[in-house]
Amino acid sequence: KNKIKRYNIKIEEIRELKEEEVIDKRVKEIGKLEKIIV
């Protein structure tokens, strides 16, 4: 049971990291677009 809980926690952490990376990429893309517009 403990191993399963730890594994689930790791999966959730990995998902959060991936979401943060996706957000960072979107922010960078928006920043590039804003620079082009400006």
Tens digit of each residue's pLDDT (9 = 90 or more) over 1-38: 677 777 777 888 888 888 889 889 999 998 888 887 66
What is the number of structural domains in the chain? 1
Structural domain boundaries enclosing 28: 1-38
For the chain, what percentages of helix, strand and coil (3-state, to nearest 5) are there? 95, 0, 5
For residue 1, the model assigns a pLDDT of 61
Residue 30, exposed/middle/buried by CB under 10 A (0-12, 13-18, 19+)?
A: exposed
For residue 38, the model assigns a pLDDT of 65
**Token pair for residue 26?**
């979107």
